[in-house]
Structure formats: C-alpha cells, structure tokens
Amino acid sequence: MKANTQANLLLPTNEDTVGPYFPINFSDPLLEDLSQFESGITAQPEGVPIILKGRLIDRYGELANGTVVEFWQANAKGVYRSPKHEGNPDIDPWFWGYGRLRTESGDFEFKTIMPGPCADRAPNITITLFSDGISRIVTQIFFADQTGNASDPLLQSLSREDQAKLSARHEGQSDCGSKIYTIDIVMAGENEIPFFDDLIREGE
Amino acid sequence: MPNSGRRLEIGPTDNTSDQRTPRNRLRLIPEIARESFAPYVPQRGLSRQNDWDLTRIAPDLPRAEGVAIEVSGKLQNERGTPISNAMLEIWNANHFGRYRHIEDHSNIPLDEHFLGTGRVFTDSEGNYTFWTISPGAYLARPDIGRWRPKHIHISVSGGGSRLITQLYFPDEPNNASDPMAILMGDDFERNIGKPYETPHIDVDSGLNFDIVVGGRNAVYFE
Ligand SMILES: [Fe+2]
C-alpha cells in the first residue's frame, strides 16, 4: 500500500470485512426494487423495468452466501442522481439509482430499470460486494443486447474474454413483463471476473 | 493498461478469504469512467430511524449483561472535512461472543436483553455517539484455536461516503492473530479505539474512534 505523503492529509480508516453476520434486519425493501418508488404512490420511474438475476460464485464454484450487494446506476436518460447533476432537467424524481440487498444463499434478484447510456458510456450498473473474508470490491456490468458496448471505454480496456464476463444476458421475461438479465459474478479463480481499483490517493 | 491496480491479499487462516478473494490484480479504471464508480447514497429509506442505545433492546427493558460502553468519534474525509448526516449501521456480538443473527449457529449463550444492532447519524460537525455492550471474543476456527478479537462492526453510508470497517479494542490478546489485522499491518492501529473515562454518564467507559473515509469518494465531499 502506498504511503500518504501529503503531510496535511489524514490517514484513512482501514476498510475491513463485513463478516458473515451483516444484520438482516437492516434490509430495506425500497433499496431492493428501484422499479417502484414507494408503495401507495401514483408514480414510478421512467424506463424499461428489468430484473437482474445474479449468482455470486467463489473460487470452488460454491455460492458466496451472506454477501451484501450494492448497485449504482444512471436513470433511463443516463443521468446519475448525484450532486454533480443537481438541477439537471433529466433527473427522474422517482428514481435514486442506489440499491442494496443481502443475499442469504449467494444468488440475488435486483429489480430496477434499464439504465440509459451516459455520455460515452454504454448502459451499466456499478456493483459493490461486501462479503465475509474480503473487504469491499467493485465492478461494473453491462447488457449484451444494448448498444454502445463496442465503444465503451471501460469495456474496451479489457480483453474480449473479460468483456464477456461483465455482460449480463437477456433471458426471458418475468410474469409482470420485466426483462430478465442474468450474470455470474465469479469472485475468484478460473473464471474470475474483472474487479476495478477505485481508490484515489488525493494529490495524485 | 489493464491489470495494474492493487493486488488483494488473502487473510492468513481465513478460509472464506481464500474462497472469495480475487486472484487477479484489480484493473485500472479509465479516467472517463471513474466518476461512475462512486455511488451517492440517498438520505432515504425505511431503515432511517435513530437507534443509539444497543445496551437495551428497548428503552423500557433492562440492560444486557456485560460492560456498557460509549463509542464516539468524528467522521471526516482525508482533508479533515467533517461528514455530516451520514448513517452508521452498527452490529456486535453480545458479552459472551454470540450474535443474535439467524445464521450464527454457535452454542455460545444468547442474552435475553441484547439485540446487538443499531444505527446513528453524524451531526453537523460529523460527530456520532452510541452505547453498546463490550462484545466478547469468539472462537472463529476451533480446529486451530484461532479467535476473533473483540470487535464492533460499523458500516458508514450517506452522500459520497461508503465504508465498512471494524472497531477493535486496545491490548486484546487476539488482535495479533486476526487475519484482517495481519493484512493491515501497522495500519491496524488506526482501527483500535482510544479509551476515555465516562464519569457523568450511565456507562462504564468510553472508546473514541474517529473514522476517516479515504479513497474514491472525495469528489462529493465539497
Ligand atoms: Fe463479527
């Protein structure tokens, strides 16, 4: 780990593993289904409802149980709900773009809407994993049937083989008409997917 | 230039770490894609109620067994800017070292007066405070006799900050053999609370833990 050479900066607290017992009573249904706003409200986000079905797989092909999965994405018009875009007319008041769930078994279903393309980026969802034995790791997944993948700068920084590992595949439709996408997130070993280094040392 | 980020290390004697730690180096993120990796956690959700006293299941119920402690500190970024209105989710084992979690199948006793989960928010100066029971250490690897040292799990989210960490206690015999502590090396010291006396409040002692959120998210701290 690189030392923090900027004399006037504080040293960060170490991230640590979430462990096996992230409290299930911290779950929040509003964060597990972004395709709805809140119950009893006549409003819903713009866009195509999708269900992302994922499996978290360890080095030995087993499901990584007890993992906390977080999601971050742009709305249907490609706008992230962050302070940088405050006042942007394309913000969807019914869509926040941040999701979280804890999977007991290691597979999950996340309901949301298809993110729009954003500037030079193909539609994608940032995925953060907190799991026993590791600290936070992050990746970004794409959709095989959406346009823009061939020119996405992140995807194109990877080998063809690795690009395929980050592409969710369209596999049918749910009873309520949502498009279903599937992805295997292999955390370690032979078919390990790419994870990304998002730490920035200030002053770099 | 792919494949030239950090290499993650595997916690010694930690089976799950062996199973789940990516073996390839982390990939670098092209500059143009960097911002998309920094989530902004909205200030909303059903779970946003304040629940600062983990020493009781509810205010009208008796206190749990063990040593009641106050934990307090300041949440800030690397430049020392306080992070206000962030949510801290807290969980720790009871006095005996058992979680009231449906997946904790150990035969360590539960405490009928201890739940062990709570949440608090930082004030306008980034300060937070909660009370809990000083957790017991527990045997994580009976086969090799390795214990998890006393620790409190803390998850920080709100705005541009997102961090999950653990607070450890000074001078604990099991600190030195903990896999994650070993990976942190000398930096482990920053995750150990600093004791203080609490003469005027209804707990036995205090532990100060200032949390500095580093890394990727500084862009939203302005
Ligand atoms: Fe723990």
Contacts of B191 (CB under 8 A, 6+ apart): A13, A14, A16, B165, B166, B167, B168, B181, B184
Among 2.60.130.10, 2.40.50.320, 3.40.50.150, 1.20.1600.10, name the CATH number for the domain at A24-186. 2.60.130.10
Q: pLDDT tens, A96-138?
A: 999 999 999 999 999 999 999 998 999 999 999 999 999 999 9
d(CA B180, CA A134): 9
- Which of A113, A181, A124, A182 lies closest to A151, judged by CA? A124
Interface test with A, best of B9, B10, B16, B192 (most A CBs within 10 A): B16
pLDDT at B37: 92
Q: How far apart are the first and last CA of chain B?
A: 31
CB atoms within 10 A of CB B92: 25
Please choose, from the candidates B123, B86, B45, the residue with its C-alpha nearest in 3D space to the C-alpha of residue B213.
B86
From first to last of its 222 residues, what are the pLDDT tens digits of chain B?
445 889 999 999 999 999 999 999 999 999 899 889 989 998 876 566 779 999 999 999 999 999 999 999 999 998 899 999 999 999 999 999 999 999 999 999 999 999 999 999 999 999 999 999 999 999 999 999 999 999 999 999 987 889 999 999 999 999 999 999 999 999 999 999 999 999 999 999 999 999 999 876 444 443
Q: For residue B132, what are the β-bridge partners?
A: B69
How far is residue A36's CA from residue A12's CA, in Å, rounded to a whole number? 36
**Residues across chain B:** 222
Partners of B158 on chain A (C-beta within 8 Å) are none
CB contact under 8 A, B80 and A138: no
The span from the CA of A166 to the CA of A147, in Å, is 15
CA B201 – CA B67 distance, rounded (Å):
14
Given a cut of 80, whether residue A177 has pLDDT beyond it is yes
Give me the CATH topology for the region B41-213: Protocatechuate 3,4-Dioxygenase, subunit A (2.60.130)
What count of CB pairs under 8 Å joins A to B?
A: 234
* Closest alpha carbon to B162 in A147, A85, A72, A134: A72
Backbone dihedral region for residue A51 (phi beyond 0: left; psi -120 to 50: alpha; all else: beta): beta
- Gap between the Cα atoms of B176 and A96, Å rounded: 42
- Looking at residue A6, its pLDDT comes to 55
CB proximity list for B195: less than 8 A, separation 6 or greater: B170, B205, B206, B207, B208
Please give the model's pTM, rounded to 2 decimal places: 0.94
Instruction: Tell me the DSSP string of B55-72.
Output: TSSSTTSPPPSS-EEEEE
Cβ atoms within 10 A of the Cβ of A139, count? 24
Sequence-ordered list of residues with C-beta below 8 angstroms from that of B126, at least 6 positions apart, any chain: B74, B75, B76, B82, B83, B84, B86
Contact B27, A197 (CB under 8 A): yes
The amino acid sitting at B87 is: M
User: How would you classify the pairing of strands B205-208 and A49-57?
Assistant: unpaired
pLDDT of residue B203: 98
- Confirm or reject contact between A157 and chain B (CB < 8 A): yes
Average predicted confidence (pLDDT) for chain A: 93
As beta bridge partners, residue B161 has B158
The H-or-E segment that residue A52 falls in is strand A49-57
Provide the pLDDT for residue B222.
35
The residue-averaged pLDDT of A78-88 equals 94
Complex confidence, ipTM? 0.93
Give the distance (Å) from ligand 1 centre to CA of residue B39. Answer: 25
- Note the pLDDT of residue A203: 46
Interface probe, candidates A58, A92, A100, A198, chain B, greatest B C-beta count within 10 A: A198
Note the pLDDT of residue B4.
81
| B35 exposure class (CB count in 10 Å sphere: 0-12, 13-18, 19+) | middle
- pLDDT tier, A3 (very low <50, low <70, confident <90, very high otherwise): very low
Taking only Cα atoms into account, the Rg of chain B, rounded to an integer number of angstroms, comes to: 19
- Residue A1: predicted pLDDT: 38
Longest CA–CA separation in chain A, Å: 58
DSSP, res B62: P
A84: three-class secondary structure by DSSP: helix
How far is B12 from A199, CA to CA, in rounded Å?
24
Rounded Cα distance between B27 and B157, Å, is: 25
Give bridge partners of residue A53 from the DSSP assignment: A109, A182
Helix, strand or coil, per DSSP, at residue A54: strand
Return the SS3 of B47.
coil
CB spacing of B30 vs A126 below 8 angstroms: no
| A93 touching chain B per CB within 8 A | no
What are the tens digits of pLDDT across the range A48-65?
Answer: 999 999 999 999 999 999
Q: Which of A56, A13, A67, A187 is nearest to B163 (CA)?
A: A13
3-state secondary structure of B100: coil
Do the beta carbons of residue A103 and residue A45 sit within 8 Å? no
Determine which of A6-20, A156-170, B37-51 has the lowest per-residue pLDDT on average. B37-51
Kindly give the distance from the C-alpha atom of residue B151 to the centroid of ligand 1, in angstroms, as a whole number. 6
